[in-house]
Amino acid sequence: MIDYQQPMFRPPSEANSLLIQATIGCSHNNCTYCAMYRQSNQKFRMRKKDEIFKIIDERSSVDFKRSFIADGNALVMPTKLLSETIIEIFNKNKNMERVSLYGNVGDILRKSDDDLIKLQKSGLSLVYIGFESGDNITLRRIKKGATKEQTIEAMNKLKRAKIKVSGMVLLGVGGKERSFVHAYETADMLSKGDPEYVGLLSLQVRPGAPIYTEWEKGNFELPDKFQILKELEIIAENTELSNGYFFSNHISNYLPIKAIYPKDKDATVAKIKNIVNEKKEKGLRSEYYRDIVNQY
């Protein structure tokens, strides 16, 4: 059996999915807040077709209904190989309903409309994108490699191909200095891109990430608990989704939220405002749980 090279990451929602490690590491691996692959000095590479197909053959089962193609940015794969990989996953898993992967904004934009339509027809249902922020200054500082405008364009491009978008936002990543600008700009980006899923995480400054060094030097100041919750409030209140899931249930967050927009928006915003205005500790996660390293 082919072993998966560690560390390997996947979204928490893919915990029970068939994991196919078609790429190893992250093709970008330059974001300042991320230490996922830095600590192991893992170099990015793509597996060869015969290796990928062997993994699919070895690990497939009639029990799987979902599959996630790892690792950090599998959308960088050539369209032909990625399409063949997706088709093979469906061929070997008769109950398969959904195939998803992580996508980098740059790689989405580098794919032609025809490429994305081909991937959708092969069975690609969902792309997870690390938005992190809609504030261009913050995006530049964290070396995300994409602007707010490019991120919106990438979302629209996927949606035209009928591929769903799950975007991740990182509360606190603007630091104290740009905290609220980060929040308002992010809400504007989400409203204009209208993703089907929005997942909010809170920044955890960890050794191994460049932002940790900046934090140690005093060049980056992490917002405190209630400022991060204020960011959550601003984003929740100012984001307009036509029909989307709005989640902050990741272990890194102080306040777990699970809502469907626009149906649950007013109640969700009211709940957050009440906690922020009263500075209520009850119902918030403790730092102990936030410090647990969870897959991202």
In-domain check, residue 45: yes
| Rg over CA atoms, the chain | 19
Query: Residue 269 pLDDT more than 50?
Result: yes
Predicted local confidence at residue 291, as pLDDT: 63
As a whole number of angstroms, the distance between CA 42 and CA 26 comes to 9
Predicted local confidence at residue 27, as pLDDT: 82
Structure tokens, 217: 């030097």
In-domain check, residue 184: yes
- In this prediction, what percent of the chain has a pLDDT beyond 70? 95
Query: Residue 208 pLDDT more than 60?
Result: yes
Count the helices and strands in the chain (H runs, E runs).
11, 10
As a whole number of angstroms, the distance between CA 22 and CA 199 comes to 24
Cα dist from 234 to 37, 44, 137, 171, 195, whole Å:
32, 37, 18, 11, 18
Least confident piece of the model among 128-137, 187-196, 207-216: 207-216
Cα dist from 208 to 11, 131, 140, 176, 204, whole Å:
21, 21, 20, 21, 12
Q: The domain containing residue 132 runs over which residues?
A: 12-289
As a whole number of angstroms, the distance between CA 293 and CA 296 comes to 9
Relative orientation angle of helices 148-160 and 179-193, to the nearest 10 degrees: 20
In-domain check, residue 295: no
In-domain check, residue 123: yes
Query: Residue 116 pLDDT more than 60?
Result: yes
In-domain check, residue 2: no
Predicted local confidence at residue 294, as pLDDT: 39
Relative orientation angle of helices 79-92 and 113-122, to the nearest 10 degrees: 10
Query: Residue 210 pLDDT more than 60?
Result: yes
Residues 6+ apart with CB under 8 A from 8: 19, 21, 70, 71
Q: 295: pLDDT confidence band, cut at 50, 70 and 90?
A: very low
The count of C-alpha atoms lying within 13 angstroms of the C-alpha of 78, restricted to the half-sphere facing its C-beta, is: 7
Structure tokens, 13: 């929602």
| Of 64 and 13, more confident | 64
Average pLDDT over residues 240-252: 94
pTM of the model: 0.93
The domain that holds 270 is classified in CATH as 3.80.30.20
Dihedral Cα 150, 185, 35, 54, nearest 10 deg: -40
In-domain check, residue 296: no
As a whole number of angstroms, the distance between CA 200 and CA 252 comes to 9
> Residue with structure tokens 């195939």?
99
Query: Residue 293 pLDDT more than 50?
Result: no
Using DSSP's 3-state secondary structure scheme, residue 151 falls into helix
What is the number of domains present in the chain? 1
- What DSSP state is assigned to residue 28? S
As a whole number of angstroms, the distance between CA 240 and CA 194 comes to 7
Predicted local confidence at residue 39, as pLDDT: 64
Average pLDDT over residues 13-30: 90
Q: What does the pLDDT look like over 69-89, one tens digit per residue?
A: 998 889 999 999 999 999 999
What mean pLDDT, rounded, does the chain reach? 92
In-domain check, residue 1: no
Average pLDDT over residues 28-54: 84
3-state secondary structure 270-296: HHHHHHHHHCCCCCCCCHHHHCCCCCC
In-domain check, residue 50: yes
